[in-house]
Amino acid sequence: MPFLGSEQKALDFVRAKADWILQQQQNVKAGLTIFDPNTSFKTKFHLLKIVRVEHAKVSAMAGQGIVQVNIPRNCDCERSDIQQFIRSVMVQVMRQEARVYLPARLKELSGIHGMRYENIHVKHVKSRWGSCSQSNNINLNLHVMRLPDHLIDYVLLHELAHTVEKNHEPGFWLLMEKICPGARKLNQELRRYHVGIF
Q: Is 85 in a helix, a strand, or coil?
A: helix
For 96-152, write each residue's pLDDT tens digit. Answer: 999 999 999 999 999 999 999 999 999 998 889 999 999 999 999 999 999 999 999
CB 16 within 8 A of CB 35: no
Q: Which CATH code, of 3.90.650.10, 3.90.700.10, 2.30.33.40, 3.30.2010.10, is assigned to 94-190? A: 3.30.2010.10
- Indicate the average pLDDT of the chain: 90
Q: What is the pTM of this model?
A: 0.81
The residues near 55 (Cβ < 8 Å, ≥ 6 apart) are 70, 72
Domain ranges, ordered by start, for the chain: 1-30, 94-190
**In one letter, which amino acid is 123?**
K
CA distance 131 to 120: 10
> Predicted confidence band at 21 (pLDDT cuts at 50, 70, 90)?
low
CB 60 within 8 A of CB 84: no
For 33-49, write each residue's pLDDT tens digit. Answer: 889 999 989 999 999 99
